[in-house]
Chain A
Amino acid sequence: MIAQLILATFTGLLLLGIHRKVIARIQRRPGPPVWQEILHMLKFSFKSTWIPATASTVLFSGVVLVAIGIWTAAFFVMLTGGSLLVIFGIYMLHKIVEHGFGLSSGSPYGKFGGVRSVISAASEIPLFVSVAAIAIFTRSFDISDIIAYQTVHGPLMFIAFPAAVAMYIVILSKMPFGPFSIVESKELVSGYKTEHFGIWRAGLEVCNGLKTTVLLATFLMVFVGQLPILWLGAGMLLLVVSLSFACALTPMLSPFDSVTVQTLVTGLMLCYGAVLFIGVRA
């Protein structure tokens, strides 16, 4: 489990590096090497570190531990085929963690990033929960049951395509440089993580690596089914490349537009869920 956690962290960081590389190539830039995010994590971990005088010491450092801890838990839930509801909950906790990151430093850039995190939570979390429409088919929220359903009936990506789109938008929202990445917008320097440098940023990078692996692997398990490890890796790579295209070809939306688009998709998902529910009852 410890080795798997470390492997998942490095895999996630490598995928984020590939994401940056693909975006750069689409935009006709050379881009950084694909292992840049791994180097970032190591580089930050070696740097001299302190806590800013304006920061809340406990929150500033504690929130990094919480960030790694919650995605460790999500990784475990995913690995054991646990409930998708727990992963929804952890996703929600992550938004609170982002808020904590932003507010703990005393910097206005961080605070604005934290506030935007709450704004985006209002539309991202309902969007994520709308994936629950798949429970109408599977009668369960457990990932193991969802996989078992797909073994018999085929991938849910074809059966419940709108739910797959909703989950895809959730993952797109969490990818850097995406149209919905308002919490890390450049007019806020680095958003909620502006003042977290040195080992605190390295810890955040570990969290990002784990989070990327968990979200991509969960998407494939929930909408494609159980895959051998190599196919899972190939699927995650394919997913990242498609997300990179979406990020490279669309501008970052303003916070209100971002929330509006996500809320509209959630509304469509609610209609889809209602139609499914009525269909099942009839």
Chain B
Amino acid sequence: MAGASACITAYIVNMLGILSLWLYAAVLVLSFPVFIIGLFLWWMAEEGKEDIPFIGY
């Protein structure tokens, strides 16, 4: 939610001319990945129990 809010707020503020293009880009670079992973965490099936993967013979 925070990532999406930051992306949308930055977009609106940039459209209004308050936020410079480079600052807008910086906000997007930081918030877009958070938005994507946050979205996936929100709709994923469930959080499973941690396991030990194959770590060699």
Q: Could you tell me how many residues of chain A have their Cβ less than 8 Å away from some Cβ of chain B?
A: 36
Known: A2-B11, A107-B54. A48 touches B33 (CB 8 A): no
- Out of B29, B37, B45, name the residue touching A47 (CB < 8 Å): B45
Which residues of the other chain, B, contact A47 by a CB distance below 8 angstroms? 44-45
Asked if residues A49 and B33 are in contact (CB atoms below 8 Å), the reply is no
Q: Is the interface of A mostly helix, strand, loop or mixed?
A: helix
Asked if residues B50 and A50 are in contact (CB atoms below 8 Å), the reply is yes
Bound CA–CA A206/B52 (angstroms): 26
Within 8 A of A (CB), among B16-37: 21, 24-25, 28-30, 32-34, 36-37
- Out of A5, A108, A199, name the residue touching B44 (CB < 8 Å): A199
Contact of A208 with B by CB under 8 A? no
The interface bits of chain A over 56-75 (1 if a CB of B lies within 8 angstroms of the residue's CB, else 0) are: 00000100111111101100
Bound CA–CA A67/B33 (angstroms): 8
Question: In the complex, which residue of chain B has the Cβ closest to the Cβ of A77?
Answer: B25
Bound CA–CA A191/B37 (angstroms): 22
Within 8 A of B (CB), among A127-143: none
- Out of A2, A64, A105, A206, name the residue touching B53 (CB < 8 Å): A105
How large, as a class, is the contact surface on chain B?
A: 20 to 34
Which residues of the other chain, B, contact A105 by a CB distance below 8 angstroms? 53
Q: Is the interface of B mostly helix, strand, loop or mixed?
A: helix
Asked if residues A54 and B55 are in contact (CB atoms below 8 Å), the reply is yes
Asked if residues A199 and B53 are in contact (CB atoms below 8 Å), the reply is no
Bound CA–CA A209/B46 (angstroms): 25
Known: A2-B8, A202-B40. A48 touches B46 (CB 8 A): yes
Question: In the complex, which residue of chain A has the Cβ closest to the Cβ of B47?
Answer: A50
A195 CB to nearest B CB, Å: 5
Asked if residues B33 and A203 are in contact (CB atoms below 8 Å), the reply is yes
Within 8 A of B (CB), among A218-258: none
Which residues of the other chain, B, contact A48 by a CB distance below 8 angstroms? 44-48
Bound CA–CA A105/B55 (angstroms): 10
Which residues of the other chain, A, contact B51 by a CB distance below 8 angstroms? 50, 52-53
Known: A65-B34, A68-B36. A52 touches B53 (CB 8 A): yes
Bound CA–CA A21/B1 (angstroms): 36
A-B contact pairs, 13 of them (CB 8 A): A47-B44, A49-B47, A50-B50, A64-B33, A64-B37, A65-B33, A67-B33, A68-B32, A69-B30, A76-B25, A106-B55, A195-B53, A203-B40
Closest 5 A/B residue pairs (Cβ): A68-B33, A199-B40, A65-B33, A45-B40, A48-B45
Can you add 11 more A-B contacts, CB < 8 Å, to A1-B24, A46-B45, A68-B37? Answer: A1-B14, A2-B28, A5-B32, A46-B43, A47-B44, A49-B41, A52-B51, A54-B53, A64-B37, A69-B29, A72-B29
